[in-house]
Structure 1
Amino acid sequence: MKRRVLIYAHYYAPDVASTGQILQDIAEGMLDDFEVTVICVVPSYTGVIHEKYKKRKYFFEKLNGVNVVRVRVPEFSKENKLSRIKNILTYFYLGVLATRKIGEQDVVFSISQPPILGGILGLFGSWLKRAKYIYNIQDFNPEQIMSVGYSNNNIFLKLAMSLDKFTCRHADMVITVGRDLVETLKKRFANKDVPRYAMINNWIDEQNVYPLSRKNVNVLAFKKKYGLEGKFVVMYSGNIGLYYDLEGLMRVIYEFKPGTTMYDGREVIFAFVGAGTILNKLKEYVKENKMRNVCFIPYQDKSKLIYSLNAGDVHLCVNARGIKGVSCPSKAYGIMAVGKPIIGVLEAGTEIRSIIDESGCGKCCEPGDYEKIKKIIQWYIENDSAEMGERGRLILEKRLTKNRSVKEYINIIKGL
């Protein structure tokens, strides 16, 4: 009989959240070895919920061999803190109740989303099921919240830190997604009695996301739809949120006036693909400053990601200052998968900055160094960087594949 694994995913397919896609790969990738159940919210990453998911509290289905239990949550706005808190607390409460509706489990797996509560939910689940517990830290909180000043409530921050350290101590294994995140885990415990841990890189499915010709019909259709035809596209694809200093980046982009052309004569355009907390702020800035060389494109379905990523000539992978050791921008793996060069605005010593520097698949600078960011963008405008992108794809195929990382998760679970 196969061992049973319960995953708390928060967001899961068909939602477009990057963590949901990673957890889908893990869940489906381990079906040969384990029976897998996922507890998640109904599809709602954008904040909007389809009417069919408002009729009852729980929805049970089988998706690609995985048992999925979806819990109903209230709609929310990414710009409204209270609505988001209500949404998250509902997921936590109904997630605990949903745990009682499924059978015995041998291993419980949860991620650090939503912040703090994702870990606590997994710990509660492991206690309820008397199972081993794996805590996968995608982002360290409250460190991430503190780094961007999202909250200055010291009582809340101390409580949050105590709770997440408690979760780490009681996990049978803590898994992080970057070398710098490992150092943060050690620092939390002052290098004494550090919980058992491992580091596994995130990924993208490189078999389904790969380089395409500029003349590919679907890439051309994407460009035509969003006004990118014949342009040199500097693209940002992902969450347009708090942790990336995109407002500072927009001020750099302002320096590149409409009509700026690259060495082969194409006009330069900056494309932002996605949604998030500060999207409307960026749109307002663009409107006020009459930036006709900036466009905003909605999130793309997973099946269309290959075309949107290939539509970019060079991609931005950015973090705000202070994110080192706290978060790892997994969007870099998608950029490397399609063989595009990277503009990395990342602190030295971070996982993704190290990968870019080691492979030579892009040019990097420190967050907040706006003059250097401008110079790097200018360099890409003036030079052929195709070989850089090719190097990224090669290093991805060599040591950052989906199957390699998923097998590492499987081996850890087998070893518990």
Structure 2
Amino acid sequence: MARKKTDLAIVNRSFWPQSQVIGEGLLQFAEQAAQSGSVCVITQAEGDLAGLLASKGRGKGVEVRACKAYTTSASGVVKRIAEALFFMFWTFISLVRVKPANVYVSTNPPVVVPFIVAVYCRLFGARYVYHLQDIHPEAANIVVPVNRLLFKLLQIVDNYTLRHSNGIITLSEDMKRYIRQRSDTQSPIHLLDNAAFEVTPVPFAQRTKDIVFCGNAGRLQRIPLLLKAIRDYLHQGGKLHFTFAGGGVHASDVKALADDYEQVDYLGVIPATEAAELVNQHKWALLPIDDEVTKYAFPSKSSAYALSGTGVLAVCGEDTSVARWVTQHGVGVVCAPDQEALVRSFFSLERKSSESFMINAESRKKLLIPYFASELYRLTVPNSFRGWK
């Protein structure tokens, strides 16, 4: 068997700087590991990522293998599938060339790339940790129904990856329970929250703006329901002002709403640090999510909302992981995914002038990027390899 050339490979289609939060977390993870071993990042980028890292004084000792990125979250499903397959082949070739002893891989892109990592590790005697930030094909099936035979095949493939992993990382107890039930894996499953940028919370009473939605206006965020409710609320004389920031397949619908109403602003896609400050100016933040998908994913914007101290208005069923998270942490209120109920909630928020949604210091620490990066290092690199060989 060929001797390993690299101690750790980090595989993720999105990376710094395009993916600002997860990308920064993975970069800090890579930088921490590179202090004591050889590290390679396998990803996609729009330009010369290695050169950009060097120019910014980042990624010291980190090897970069990046192929060109062609799609975004707003691209069509067929294009995204084609690019995922392309990245799968790129990943396998890169792994064979760098020969890592340990691999970190996430669900970006899902199923096929983690599977090819599992195949490499089985062939070359390496170990890998699988980070499920969402569970596929179930999450995808909610957006676009997947052929039943293909659905079962993808489940079989992903179950193989889960069963042979040295460790699994995911986001919620619901996801952990489903992973165990679906795959019957005996691998240890760890929970790790989504990370967010640090922000100094503004006291609720000093916030000057009303309600913000900041993130991907995608297929699972109940955007059509949200926009209908806002129109209804404003037609009934509602006084609150709404701010939207971010892209996604429903971005044009959000812009159309902003064009029709002075009480709605659409800022487009903005940098993550600016988004954090934008949320910090608002009293309330919208967190709409499809109930079914909460079994297989958890909204990434939740951490940024919690760190800011902004009140969360979760639009989902009460028996979901998101609703339980809002209630258990005391970070806001939950509204049923119903147009009339949502309109009533908006009017109710008009009367709430002073609230406190600050999370405690320990919970706050666990939502920050440095903690996220350190946990990835702790969970991915075995104790016997700390300090490497």
After TM superposition, the score normalised by the length of structure 1 is: 0.79
Report whether the alignment pairs 1:378 with 2:372.
no
Aligned counterpart, 1:78: 74
| SS of aligned partner of 1:243 | coil
Q: Which amino acid in the other structure matches residue 248 of structure 1?
A: L
- Alignment partner of 1:257 out of 228, 234, 244: 234
One of 165, 171, 185 as aligned partner of 2:165: 171
* Other structure's SS at 1:271 match: strand
The 10-residue stretch of structure 1 (176-185 or 393-402) with the greater mean CA deviation from structure 2: 393-402
8 Å contact 1:6–1:37 — kept in the other structure?
yes
8 Å CA contact 1:168, 1:174 repeated in 2? yes
SS, match of residue 242 in structure 1: coil
Change in Cα spacing, 1:394 to 1:231, as seen in structure 2 (3 Å) is: same
**Structure 1 residues 372-381 or 17-26, which shifts more?**
17-26
- 2-structure distance, mates of 1:311, 1:101: 48
Match of 1:337 among 284, 301, 307: 307
Q: Judge conservation of contact 2:21–2:196 (CA < 8 Å) in 1.
A: no
Superposition pairs for residues 112-191 of structure 1, below 5 Å?
112-127=107-122, 129-148=124-143, 150-189=144-183
Report the secondary structure of 2:240's partner residue. strand
Per the TM alignment, residue 92 of structure 1 is displaced from its structure 2 partner at its CA by 1.9
Residue equivalent to 1:39? 42
Separation (CA, whole Å) in 2 of partners of 1:350 and 1:401: 24
Describe how 1:379-394 pairs up with structure 2 within 5 A. Answer: 379-388=348-357, 390=358, 392=359, 394=361
Q: What residue ranges of structure 2 are gaps of 5+ in the alignment?
A: 385-389
Amino acid across the alignment from 2:382: K
Amino acid at match of 1:294: V
- Structure 1's 23 and 318: CA in aligned 2 closer, same or farther, altered over 3 A? farther
Q: Which amino acid aligns with 2:158?
A: D
Identify which range, 347-356 or 309-318, moves more after superposition.
347-356
Question: Quick one: distance in 2 between partners of 1:348 and 1:258?
Answer: 28
Aligned to 2:190: 198
The 2-side partners of 1:78 and 1:378 are apart by 32
- The one of the two structures with greater contact order (alpha-carbon pairs below 8 A, sep at least 6) is 2
Q: Determine the C-alpha separation between the residues in 1 that align with 2:249 and 2:20.
A: 14
Moved more, 405-414 or 139-148: 405-414
* Percent identity between the two aligned chains: 19
* SS at 1:380 equivalent: helix
CA distance in 2, matches of 1:325, 1:33: 38
Mapped to 1, the partners of 2:323 and 2:173 lie a distance apart of 11
* Aligned equivalent of 1:247, options 224, 229, 248: 224
Residues 54-80 of structure 1: per-residue CA shift (max 9 Å, x gap): xxxx98965332332211243568242
Q: Distance in 2 between matches of 1:336 and 1:77?
A: 24
TM-score, structure 2 as length reference: 0.84
